[in-house]
Amino acid sequence: NDVVNGAYISRFMKAVSEMISTWDNPQEKAYALGAAWGSTMRGLIHKEIDYRVDTGQEYSKLTRTQRMAVVRSLLSAAGHAAVIKEGSENILQMHACPFLDTDGTINPLICEVHRGQLVRLVEDMSEESENAALFPCIRSGICEVHLHENSSGE
């Protein structure tokens, strides 16, 4: 049941954020936790690339449109209802957050976990030629992810 699963996830994430808040340097640790989580998603990335584009292509060789489709699809599969922002080639908007608490709020440490996850996910997919920036709650119910090439190519 989606409602039960959603409530379970939100309670779990609330407990995680409360635990992280007791650590030294909680924002740094939250980001590191998210980055470690993002590193575990490599298999999903390759499955999604095989599904979305021709088999055998590396993410770094995909066009901007193909890369955006892969990231959008992964975010949507995770419950974020992601769409490419109208008129943009590099901004995804997430219209749902599976990490919201049952009262509709979110602990900023959870956003930091998510930031770490997204940055690592995009770095891994692009072989560090691209990066992501998360902008939580830019408007009520909407977060944005901006993807851009690393200026140094590293």
* pLDDT tens over the chain, length 154 residues: 455 566 677 788 888 899 999 999 999 999 999 999 888 887 776 676 665 555 466 666 777 777 788 888 888 888 899 999 999 989 999 998 888 877 778 889 999 999 999 999 888 877 777 889 999 999 888 999 999 887 754 4
CB under 8 Å to 3, separation ≥6 — which residues?
none
Residues 6 or more apart in contact with residue 12 via CB below 8 angstroms:
none
> What's the pTM value of the predicted model, to 2 decimals?
0.81
